[in-house]
Amino acid sequence: MRGVATTLAALLLTTAPVAAQGLSKAEKTIDRTVDAEFERSVALLTRLVDQNSGTLNLEGVTKVGDMMRAELELLGFTVSWKPMGEVQRAGHLIAVHKGKPGGKRFLLIGHLDTVFEPSSPFQKFVRTGDKAEGPGAGDDKGGMVVMVAALRAMQAAGTLKDANIEIVLTGDEEDAGSPHSISRADLIAAGKRADVALDFEGLVIDGGKDMGSIARRSVTDWKITASGKTGHSSLIFSTQFGDGAINELARILAAFRTELPEPNLTFNAGVIAGGARAEIDESGNAKAGGKTNIIAATAVAAGDFRTLSVEQTARVRAKMEAIVAAHAPGTDAKIEFGEGYPAMAPTEGNKALLAALNGVNRDLGLEEMAPLDPLKRGAGDVSFVAHDVDSLAGLGTYSTGDHAPGETVDLASIRRQAKRAAILITRLGTGRTARK
C-alpha cells in the first residue's frame, strides 16, 4: 500500500508538531497504565524467556506462540497459527484486530524464536533490579512484551477498539526457512495491506541517546568456490599449471577489498578453506586437507554483504560476479548467492513516522530520537515489507549482548517503549498529529 502510505507520509511531514501539544486524556491513561502494569509485563517476559524457543526447537517456538495467543485473544484479536513445516520451521502467529472501517491499518512485527537452541547452557531468566539476563530477553521476547503492554494500555484508554491492527510474529526470524517465497509470504502480504508497519525488535542507544530506526540494511550470503590444476608445488605459476585454487581465491578477496567499497556497504569473508580438498557445509563448518608441496585444487570462502537499497544490492552483486569471472591463469571460480534479507531504505515516509514519534517523545518529556546510522543496525523481518509500506523499526526493549550468553535487557525500557508505541498508534489512527 505504498501509495496510501505515501499520502500518510505527506500528511505527517506537513503537520508534524513543532512544539509539545500535551497528552490527551486517553494518552494520560496510556501513560499510567503502562506504569501500573510494569510488573505484569516483567512476569510475562519471565514466562516467555523461560520457554526455550531456539529457531530449530519447533515445539518450543509453538509454545511461545501459544503464550502470545493467550495475551492477544484477551485483547480481542482473532489469532491463527500458520504452520511452516514445508520449510522445516515451526510457524508464524498472525493476529487481527478489526476496528473502525476505513481507518488506518497498522502492521506490528515481532518474532517468537531466539538464537539459543536447547543445547545452549544459557536458558533461564534472571532478574537483578531493572536488568535481567535471559535467552531472547531482548531479542525479541522483550519486543513482544512491549507490544502487549502497548496494546493493553490502549485498551484501558479506549483507543484500541477502533484500531485496525494486524500482528505477524514469525517463528524463524533468526534463521528464516527457505525459500523465503514461502516463509515470508504471510508477512509480505500483510505489508501490502498495511498503511504503517512498526517493528518491535530492539531499541538502539547510541552515545547515551535513544535512536530512531528508519532504515535497516540488507544481508545477502555468498559462497565462492575456486578450482585449479593440481600438481607438484614446484610448478606453481607455470604455464602448464597456473596459479592454483588458493591464489585464485586470494585474488578475488583482495579485489573485493579494493574495488567494492562504497557508502553504506559492508562485505565480509567469514569462513575460508583450501587445499587438495576443501568444503564448507551449510552450518559454516570448514574442512580441508592437502600438503605444502601440492598445488591446491580447491578453495572455498563464504561470507555476506549488506546494502541499503535494492539498487545497491544489484550493483554490488554485479561487481562481485565480474571480479570472480576475471580468472587467474589455470583457474576457474564461481560465486553463488543466498536468498538474503532485503534492505529497508530511509524513505521520506519512514522519516515522517519518526517525526510523529518525536512528537510523542516531546509530550512524554522524553528526548527526541535522531535517525540511527543504518551501519549500526542489522537486517530484520521489517525489511520484507518496507518496500510496500512506510515503516519504523526499533520499538522493542533496549538490550546488550544479544545473540550471546549473558544477553541482558533493560527492563525500564519496557515503560518508555510501550508508551511511545501506544500513543503513536493512537495518534496516527485518529489523525491527531498536530496542535489544533
* DSSP string computed for 349-388: HHHHHHHHHHHHHHHHTPPP-EEPPGGG----GGGGTTTT
The residue among 337, 354, 369 that closes a domain is 337
* 436 within some domain: no
Tell me what pLDDT residue 19 has: 45
The pLDDT confidence band at residue 284, using thresholds 50, 70 and 90, is confident
- Predicted local distance difference test score (pLDDT) of residue 180: 96
CA pair distance 275, 134, nearest whole angstrom: 42
Please spell the DSSP secondary structure of 221-284, one letter per residue.
EEEEEEEE---BGGGTTSTTTTT-HHHHHHHHHHHHHHHS--TT-EEEEEEEEEESEEEE-TTS
In a domain, 161, yes or no: yes
Q: CA torsion angle for 184, 185, 190, 195 (degrees, to 10)?
A: 80
Cell numbers at 280, concatenated: 564448507
Co-location of 33 and 122 in the same domain = yes
Same domain, 170 and 232: no
pLDDT value, residue 5: 47
User: Do 351 and 409 lie in a common domain?
Assistant: yes
Q: What is the DSSP string of 134-172?
A: -TTTTTTHHHHHHHHHHHHHHHHHT-STT-EEEEEEES-
84 and 147 share one domain: yes
Same structural domain for residues 228 and 211? no
Q: Does residue 352 form part of some domain?
A: yes
Residue that terminates a domain, selected from 322, 337, 352 = 337
What pLDDT is recorded for position 379? Answer: 85
Residues 16 and 140 in one domain: yes
**Structural domain harbouring 78:** 2-216+344-430
CA distance to 108, 147, 167, 187, 394, per residue, from 215 (Å): 16, 20, 20, 18, 10
The Cα–Cα gap between 391 and 393 comes to 7
Query: What are the tens digits of pLDDT across the range 330-365?
Result: 999 999 999 989 999 999 999 999 999 999 999 999
Please name the residues in contact with 432: beta carbons below 8 A apart, sequence gap of 6 or more: 24, 426
Q: What is the CATH number of the domain that holds 323?
A: 3.30.70.360
Residue 76 lies in a domain: yes
Evaluate whether residue 320 is within a structural domain.
yes
**Same-domain check for residues 30 and 76:** yes
Position 22 scores a pLDDT of 92
Q: What pLDDT sits at residue 15?
A: 42
Res 16: pLDDT: 43
pLDDT of residue 419: 98
Instruction: Supply the pLDDT for residue 201.
Output: 97
Task: Give the pLDDT mean for 171-175.
Answer: 95
Could you tell me the CATH number of the domain that includes residue 137? 3.40.630.10
pLDDT single digits (tens) 28-51: 999 999 999 999 999 999 999 999
d(CA 356, CA 149) in angstroms, rounded, equals 20
Percent of the chain with pLDDT over 90: 91
Measure the CA–CA gap between 90 and 173, rounded to whole angstroms: 11
- Helix (H) / strand (E) element for 60: namely helix 58-74
Helix (H) or strand (E) holding 333: strand 331-337
Q: Indicate whether 223 pLDDT > 50.
A: yes
Helix or strand run (H / E) with residue 298:
strand 298-306
Nearest to 104 by CA among 407, 398, 390: 390
Question: Do 167 and 232 fall within a single domain?
Answer: no
Instruction: Write down which residue in 306, 337, 368 finishes a domain.
Output: 337
74 and 27 together in one domain:
yes
Beta carbons within 10 angstroms of residue 284's beta carbon: 9
In a domain, residue 435? The reply is no
Same domain, 51 and 161: yes
Alpha carbon distances (Å) from 426 to 27, 139, 153, 155: 8, 25, 11, 11
Give the contacts of 124 (CB within 8 A, at least 6 positions apart): 49, 50, 134
Per-residue pLDDT at 23 exceeds 60: yes
Let me know whether 31 and 59 are in one domain. Answer: yes
pLDDT of residue 145: 98
Domain count, the chain: 2
Q: Positive or negative CA dihedral for 121, 125, 126, 128?
A: positive
Whether residues 362 and 224 share a domain: the answer is no
Specify the pTM.
0.87
- The band of 8, judged by pLDDT with boundaries at 50, 70 and 90, is low
